[in-house]
Amino acid sequence: MGRSEDTKARRQAKLDALFKGRRFVVKSEVHLSGDEVFRTPLGNLGQHGYLVAQADDPSVLYCVGERLLRLMHDQYDAVDLPLSED
């Protein structure tokens, strides 16, 4: 397995460990400014995203960006997407 495949496999394993078989609820939007950032459960940094809580254990909280939230929804059916304000 090459380096790229190994990296993808590690990322997929981490995603599975975090989200497979779990449900999350969007608690609020997160909008930070200046030097403030949050770190996603995958280690990425962001300023805008969502605070999500595990449905059966609300003490498990993650800040996730839009892409990770969509992945949680599309790949794991782990969260309902918030309604857009179009």
Q: What pLDDT digit, counting tens, does each position of 22-81 carry?
A: 999 999 999 999 999 999 999 999 999 999 999 999 999 999 999 999 999 999 999 999
Establish if 82 belongs to a structural domain: no
Contact 62, 40 (CB under 8 A): yes
Establish if 83 belongs to a structural domain: no
Establish if 85 belongs to a structural domain: no
Instruction: State the residue range of the domain holding 69.
Output: 3-76
**Statement: residue 86 has pLDDT above 60:** no
Establish if 16 belongs to a structural domain: yes
- Domain count within the chain: 1
Please name the residue that has the structure tokens 């397995």.
Answer: 1
**Can you read off the two tokens belonging to residue 55?**
């449905």
Establish if 41 belongs to a structural domain: yes
Would you state the pLDDT for residue 3?
Answer: 77
What amino acid occupies position 4? S
**Can you read off the two tokens belonging to residue 75?**
């790949």
Q: In sequence order, what are the residues at sequence separation of 6 or more whose Cβ sits closer than 8 angstroms to the Cβ of residue 32?
A: 38, 47, 48
Establish if 67 belongs to a structural domain: yes
